[in-house]
Amino acid sequence: MSTPSTASERFLDYDKSLACIHCGLCLSSCPTYLETGNENDSPRGRIYLMRAVQDGRLPLDDTSVQHIDLCLGCRACEAVCPSGVQYGNLLEHTRDHIEGTYERSTFQNFLRRFVIEKIFPHRERMELAIIPARLAKTLKLEKFLPKFARDALSLIPGNGKGEPLPPFSAATGTRKGRVGFIRGCVMDVMFSETNQNTVKLLNAAGYDVVVPEQQGCCGALFAHSGNLKRARECARDNINAFANQNLDAIIINAAGCGSTLKEYGELLHGDQKWEQRGKEFSGKVKDITEFLCAANDAAGDKGSAGASPYQGVAYHRRRVTYHDACHLAHPQHITKQPRDLIKGVAGKNFVELPESDVCCGSAGTYNLTEPEMAERLQNRKIQNIIKTGADIVVTTNPGCLLQIRAGLEKAGSKIQAMHIADYLAGDEQAVIEDRLP
Ligand code: SF4
Ligand code: SF4
C-alpha cells in the first residue's frame, strides 16, 4: 500500500498552470478521457489537480497520484489547446515532485527505479535483460507466466541484435553535408537494423553520418518518469558528445527521444552554463522524416521517396497505413512529412488510419506501469488498423512498434508493423515477393 504525502512545495510554474482557461477543447483529444469519461482523467482535470496539490488543497495520496499516473504524457491536449498550455512541462514537474515525495508500492518502485531507470537507458544491461525473455518466447513458456509478465514479454521482439553502427558512414549519393545520428537506447538494442537503414537513407540522400560513441540516453525515460535531475545529466552528456563535430543536423528516428532532444533548452532552463548550449543543440535536432522531406524538397523532389535515391519501392504494391506516434505528431507537429514519404512509395495504396493520432498505449514505459489502460488503448488501435484493410502499418517510434506488433499478434493479424526507415529502405525479400506472379 502506498503512503500519502501532504508535503506542499512550489513544483509548478504557476503562470504556466494558469494559462488553462478551462474551455474543455482538449477533452475529446485525450485518450484516457475518451476511455474513462472521468474529468479527473482529462487534461483540464489534471491541471486543476496539480494546482490543488501545489496549493495544499489536495493531498498527494493514492487517488490524486493515480490520475496523474494514468496520463500517457502523449501531449495530444497540448496540440489542440487554444491557450497554449504547456501541459508536458506541467506534467514533468508534477511527476518529479511525486517521485520525490510520494512513497510507491514495492512493485511500482521496482519497475520505475530499477527496470526503467537502471536497465532501459543502458545498452549492455538491456541486451542482457532481454536474453531470458527471448529464451522464454522461443521455448513458448509464456503460458506459465502471470498476466503482467506475459504482457511485458509480448513486447520483446524475437530477432537478435544486428551489427553495431560504424562511427562514420560516407555519403553514397552526391555529397550534400554531414549529420550526426542519435542511435537511441531501445532502437540500438531492439531495432538495430532500423538504425542501419536510417543511416543508409541518409547516406543515399548525400549525407555523411557521424555516430559519436560517447552519446547516451536522451533523458526522455527519466523526464517522463519523474527524474528531471537525471534527465538534465543526460542532456549535458549528449551536448558534449555532439560538440565540435561540424554537423548540419542531428538526426533521430525515435519520436519519443526526438521531442526530448528538441527541448533541451527548456529542460536546462535557468542553468547559466548549459541553457544556451541546450537550445543550440536542440535547434539542430531533426526527425528523420522531416530531414528527408526537406532534403527531397531542396532537390526539387517534393517529398517523394519513390523518385529519390532511396530504394523504397519494395513495398509499393502493398496497402499501407500510418500511425502517428504521439511525440512526433503533438509536440513536434510532424504529420505531413511521414505521409508524403510513404505516399511517395505507395501512391494510391496509402490509406488513412482512423484515430491515427490517438495514443496506442505504449507511451514510453506506460505499458509496463499502467498495463490495463495500455491494453485498452492497444485494442482500440488494433481494431482501427484492421479496419483499414492495410497489409502494412508504418510508424516512427520503437514503443509504438512494439505495442502495435504485440497487439496485432494477439489479434491473430498478419498485418506487418514497421518503422518508416525500414519501409523506405525496402527489403530485398519483399522485392522478390512483389515480382512473383
Ligand atoms: S484546451 Fe487548454 S485551456 Fe482549454 S481546458 Fe484544455 S488545457 Fe485548458
Ligand atoms: S498528455 Fe495525453 S493522456 Fe495526458 S492529459 Fe494530455 S491528452 Fe490526456
Give the pLDDT confidence score for residue 150 in this predicted structure: 67
Give the pLDDT confidence score for residue 130 in this predicted structure: 72
Residue 418 neighbours by CB under 8 Å, 6+ apart: 392, 393, 394, 401
345 within a domain of the structure (yes/no): yes
Report the CATH number at residue 79.
1.10.1060.10
> Computed over its alpha carbons, how large is the radius of gyration of the chain?
21
Looking at the CA of residue 43, tell me the nearest atom of ligand 2. Answer: 5
How buried is residue 163: exposed, middle or buried, by Cβ count under 10 Å (0-12/13-18/19+)?
Answer: exposed
- Any ligand 1 atom below 6 A from CB of 85: yes
State how beta strands 168-169 and 207-210 pair. Answer: antiparallel
Give the pLDDT confidence score for residue 154 in this predicted structure: 66
Burial 329-356 (b: 16+ CB within 10 A, else e): bbbbebbebbbbbbbbbbeebbeebebb
SS3 4: coil
- Any ligand 1 atom below 6 A from CB of 166: no
230 within a domain of the structure (yes/no): no
Question: Which DSSP state fits 365?
Answer: T
Last residue of one domain, picked from the residues 80, 101, 122? 101
Backbone angles phi, psi at 89, to 5 degrees: -65, -45
325 vs 362: CA distance, rounded Å: 10
Q: Which of 32, 47, 80 to mutate to test the pocket of ligand 2 (most atoms within 8 A of CB)?
A: 32
Give the pLDDT confidence score for residue 148 in this predicted structure: 61
**Where does 183-270 show beta strands of DSSP type E?**
207-210, 249-252
CA 111 to chain centre: 19
Residue nearest to ligand 1 atom 4, measured at CA: 23
Give the pLDDT confidence score for residue 225 in this predicted structure: 86
136 within a domain of the structure (yes/no): no
* Residue-range definition of the domain harbouring residue 320: 301-435
Helices marked H in 299-427: 326-329, 336-346, 366-369, 371-388, 398-410, 420-425
50 within a domain of the structure (yes/no): yes
> Cα of 90 to ligand 1 centre, how many Å?
13
pLDDT < 50 positions in the chain: 1-7, 303-309, 436-437
Last residue of one domain, picked from the residues 83, 101, 119? 101
Residue with the three cell numbers 527524474? 227
216 within a domain of the structure (yes/no): no
210: left (phi over 0), alpha (psi -120 to 50) or beta: beta
Helix (H), strand (E) at residue 169:
strand 168-169
- Any ligand 2 atom below 6 A from CB of 34: no
Count of domains in the chain?
2
Give the pLDDT confidence score for residue 437 in this predicted structure: 46
- Any ligand 2 atom below 6 A from CB of 74: yes
- pLDDT tens across 107-125, in order? 888 888 888 888 877 777 8
Report the CATH number at residue 391.
3.40.50
Q: Which of 15, 16, 25 to mutate to test the pocket of ligand 1 (most atoms within 8 A of CB)?
A: 25
Last residue of one domain, picked from the residues 50, 78, 101? 101
Looking at the CA of residue 88, tell me the nearest atom of ligand 2. Answer: 1
295 within a domain of the structure (yes/no): no
43 vs 311: CA distance, rounded Å: 42
313 within a domain of the structure (yes/no): yes
Helix (H), strand (E) at residue 168:
strand 168-169
> Cα of 354 to ligand 1 centre, how many Å?
24
413 within a domain of the structure (yes/no): yes
Backbone angles phi, psi at 251, to 5 degrees: -100, 140
Q: Which of 21, 29, 75, 80 to mutate to test the pocket of ligand 1 (most atoms within 8 A of CB)?
A: 21
